[in-house]
Amino acid sequence: MVNAVRNGPFWRDSIIFITFDEHGGFYDHAKPPRAPQTGALNPDGINPGQCEDLSNPPASEQPGGGAECALNPISTTDTSVKDAEQLCPALAADPTGPYPAACANFNQLGVRVPFIVVSPFSKPHYVSHTVGDHTSLLALIEERFLNAGGQRLHLTLRDQYANTLEDMFDFDLSPSLNTSVGQAAPPINDCTPLP
């Protein structure tokens, strides 16, 4: 796929992101960093299990009144509340009241995940040490394409606070425009299932 894009007509304007999040993180020696949201417990004011949304205003705008919350009469599930109560039993005493300070919140990022960028704009031999998260991909798109007069538009507060990953790129010089992409070597042991 990389070679198809690299040798295709749109290469000079492309960025390929290769990432996956299925490793479990057991190998990683680094402690996950705090989420970059100016010290808030969560970026949007919505605590775990106290989901709020615009599905049925004004009731759904209150803690526990949104979709998939126990207090929502139109919902057939209450997974958000049950999951949050399993993680923090203190929440069960009053799911719509003040969120217990001792309970986990959305102020902690998870373990690192593999992330590779292939692009004519990629800095050669560069390894970024900037903290990013999954919404950083959105933040980059918003910064590059939804920036109105220096004001980046965003979907949520989560991607507003996310790093834009721009440190990995040189959008002015396209230093990797003519870098060739080799073919992957075949596997040493053929693991193809026999018919």
pLDDT tens for 117-137 read 999 999 999 999 998 988 999
Instruction: Looking at the structure, tell me whether residues 94 and 114 fall in a common domain.
Output: no
Q: Which domain holds residue 125?
A: 2-35+109-168
Question: Which is higher by pLDDT, 176 or 71?
Answer: 176
Instruction: Looking at the structure, tell me whether residues 22 and 54 fall in a common domain.
Output: no
Instruction: Looking at the structure, tell me whether residues 20 and 115 fall in a common domain.
Output: yes
Task: Report whether pLDDT(23) > 70.
Answer: no
Name 116's Cβ contacts closer than 8 Å, sequence gap at least 6.
17, 18, 19
Which residue, 133, 110, 105, is CA-closest to 49?
Answer: 105
Encoded tokens for 145: 């394409």
Distance set, CA 186 to CA 164, 183, 189 (Å): 35, 9, 9
Strand partners, 148: 151
Task: Report whether pLDDT(9) > 90.
Answer: yes
Q: How far apart, in whole angstroms, are the C-alpha atoms of residue 111 and residue 71?
A: 33
**Rounded average pLDDT over 110-121:** 89
Is 78 within the bounds of a domain? yes
Q: Is the pTM of this model over 0.75?
A: no
User: How large a percentage of the chain has pLDDT more than 70?
Assistant: 89
List the single range of 27-41, 59-73, 101-115, 172-186 with lowest mean pLDDT: 59-73
> What is the helix (H) or strand (E) element at residue 17, kind and residue range?
strand 16-19
Is 192 within the bounds of a domain? no
Is 191 within the bounds of a domain? no
Q: How far apart, in whole angstroms, are the C-alpha atoms of residue 67 and residue 110?
A: 25
How many domains is the chain built from?
Answer: 2
Domain boundary among 105, 133, 157: 105
Instruction: Looking at the structure, tell me whether residues 63 and 101 fall in a common domain.
Output: yes
Instruction: Looking at the structure, tell me whether residues 13 and 54 fall in a common domain.
Output: no
Q: How far apart, in whole angstroms, are the C-alpha atoms of residue 81 and residue 49?
A: 4
Instruction: Looking at the structure, tell me whether residues 94 and 115 fall in a common domain.
Output: no
Is 186 within the bounds of a domain? no
Q: What is the pLDDT of residues 86-109, one digit of tens each?
A: 888 888 888 777 888 888 888 888
Task: Report whether pLDDT(143) > 90.
Answer: yes
Instruction: Looking at the structure, tell me whether residues 26 and 117 fall in a common domain.
Output: yes
Is 94 within the bounds of a domain? yes
Q: How far apart, in whole angstroms, are the C-alpha atoms of residue 174 and residue 83?
A: 46
